[in-house]
Every structure is written in structure tokens, then in C-alpha cells.
Amino acid sequence: MNVLLVEDEEAIAEPLVEGLEREGFGVVHVATGQAALDAGDADLVLLDLRLPDIDGFEVCRRLRERSTVPIIVVSARGEEVDRVVGLELGADDYLVKPYGLRELIARIHAVMRRLEPRAAEREQLHVDGLQVDLRARRASLGGAELRLTPREFEMLALLASDPGAAFSRERIFEQIWQTRWFGSPKTIDVHIAALRRKLGDPGWIETVRGIGFRLRA
């Protein structure tokens, strides 16, 4: 598995590269946002936000525009607003510095597990003009492909697995993030809002007051 590490502080990058390589990862380290955008394909990106040339949020946005590569933001900026913005721009996880190597590797494995093809009997989900291809991890509406982040796809696939059924926030968080929900509802709301925009009609995903969300049957 090849990791692109975007970190401008050598004191942080050097031991991190060594630790990841000991765990069997291939690591390419770059120190600027432009170098990250110019780098070749990677299986996952570890992205610091404080870069000397381009703001990390902007790098995240540009990477997501052109690729579905998993992105884990690793930053000292731990305010909730920073987390929300990072997720809204397409990051798959957000890890606040300082952190341990064990935790980082666990986060990497958790993100990659979410991206594995689902072991489901039905590989194609159809709801009216919406089609979700679980095997190819693609979704389309009226024949036009939807450009979704990996987490947006997972959320849409979950809702489309049982149209009309109400999914609680807790269930969504447990199944998409592979952990129990314990924080602000903004994390889920950000992805729901993005899905509604990309579906072109907020009515596709209905809010179930006091519970969560459901896909229009």
C-alpha cells in the first residue's frame, strides 16, 4: 500500500516515514501542497493543513475534485470548525496532532476497510432513477454519474439499501465510520448536505425528526 505523506516539518515527517515503512507501507514524502498535487497516484494521502505554499484545505479540495483517493487530514488544528470543513471538502478522516503511530495505522486500516467492496448479494441498487453499483463503487442518477467522495458513496449506498427506512444517526455513524457515534451531529449533516446537493433535489434524502434520515422510497 502506497501512502503519500504531505508534511512540511522534517522533524515530524522523518520518524513518521520510518514508522510507516516498518509497518510495510510504501511512503512518498512531499513538503508542499503543489508537490502533493503533482505527485503520482497513491493508495492513501496523509495531509497536513499547514503547508508553506497552498492551504491544506485547498489541497484537499483539489485532490477530491479529480480523485476518490482516501484522504486523512493530520493537523494540529483541532477545532470543530476545522474538522467540519475538512470533512465537507472530502477528507475521509481527521486526526489531531499529537497522535501515536498505532492510532494512525488503525485509522488507515479503518478507512481502507470502508472502501472495500461490500460483500452483499445485490451489487446493484435501484431507486427510481438512482442506481448504486456496489461492486464498481459508482452511482448515477438519470444516467448521469454522480461524483461522490468515498464516504458520500458509503452513506448513499447505506440509505439505498432500504429505501423508505429510517436510519438513525447512531446506525449511520457505526456502519460508515466503523465506530460508535459520540460527537457533534455536524459530521453526518455535512455529508447529507453534500449528497443532497449532488442529487440535485433535497427531497431525495428526508430528515426523520429525532431519529436520522431516509432515502425517499
% pLDDT > 70, the chain: 93
Q: Contact, 149 vs 198, CB < 8 A?
A: no
Q: At which of 115, 138, 154 does a domain end?
A: 115
> Could you give the number of structural domains in the chain?
2
Q: Which of 69, 7, 6 is nearest to 41 (CA)?
A: 69
Instruction: Looking at the structure, tell me whether residues 48 and 94 fall in a common domain.
Output: yes
Please indicate whether residue 97 or residue 32 has the higher confidence score (pLDDT): 32
Give every strand in the sheet of 26-30, ordered side by side.
26-30, 2-6, 44-47, 71-75, 93-96
Cα separation, 193 vs 189, in Å, equals: 6
Give the model confidence (pLDDT) of 6-17 as tens digits. 999 999 999 999
DSSP string, 109-137: HHHHHHHSPP--S-SEEEETTEEEETTTT
pLDDT for the residue 121: 43
Q: Tell me which H or E stretch contains 208.
A: strand 205-208
Instruction: Looking at the structure, tell me whether residues 108 and 140 fall in a common domain.
Output: no
CA dist 187 to 41, 45, 71, Å?
28, 20, 16
Q: What is the CATH number of the domain that holds 40?
A: 3.40.50.2300
Domain of 190?
A: 124-215
In 146-169, which positions are buried (b, 16+ CB within 10 angstroms) versus exposed (e)?
bebbbbbbbbbbbbbbeeeebbeb
Q: At which of 64, 95, 115 does a domain end?
A: 115
Instruction: Looking at the structure, tell me whether residues 85 and 170 fall in a common domain.
Output: no
Instruction: Looking at the structure, tell me whether residues 10 and 103 fall in a common domain.
Output: yes
pLDDT for the residue 45: 96
Instruction: Looking at the structure, tell me whether residues 134 and 208 fall in a common domain.
Output: yes
Q: How confident is the model at residue 185 (pLDDT cuts 50, 70, 90)?
A: low
C-alpha cell at 118: 461490500
In 41-50, which positions are buried (b, 16+ CB within 10 angstroms) versus exposed (e)?
ebebbbbbbe
Of the candidate ranges 31-45, 81-95, 182-196, the one whose mean pLDDT is the lowest? 182-196
pLDDT for the residue 89: 87
Q: Which of 68, 158, 160, 46 is nearest to 115 (CA)?
A: 68
Instruction: Looking at the structure, tell me whether residues 64 and 81 fall in a common domain.
Output: yes
Residue 153 has pLDDT above 80, yes or no: yes
Residue 131 has pLDDT above 80, yes or no: yes
CA dist 161 to 117, 165, 173, 189, Å?
14, 9, 16, 19
Instruction: Looking at the structure, tell me whether residues 104 and 56 fall in a common domain.
Output: yes
Cα separation, 217 vs 208, in Å, equals: 13
Residue 180 has pLDDT above 80, yes or no: no
Residue 119 has pLDDT above 50, yes or no: no
Instruction: Looking at the structure, tell me whether residues 6 and 46 fall in a common domain.
Output: yes
% pLDDT > 90, the chain: 51
Q: At which of 82, 98, 115 does a domain end?
A: 115
Q: What angle separates helix 169-177 from helix 101-115, to the nearest 10 degrees?
A: 100
Average pLDDT over residues 137-166: 91
Instruction: Looking at the structure, tell me whether residues 50 and 100 fall in a common domain.
Output: yes
pLDDT for the residue 120: 43
Q: How confident is the model at residue 118 (pLDDT cuts 50, 70, 90)?
A: very low
Instruction: Looking at the structure, tell me whether residues 197 and 97 fall in a common domain.
Output: no
Average pLDDT over residues 37-45: 91
Cα separation, 170 vs 199, in Å, equals: 23
Please indicate whether residue 41 or residue 120 has the higher confidence score (pLDDT): 41
Q: How far is CA 79 from the centre of its chain?
A: 18
pLDDT for the residue 199: 94
Instruction: Looking at the structure, tell me whether residues 103 and 16 fall in a common domain.
Output: yes
Global pTM reads 0.57
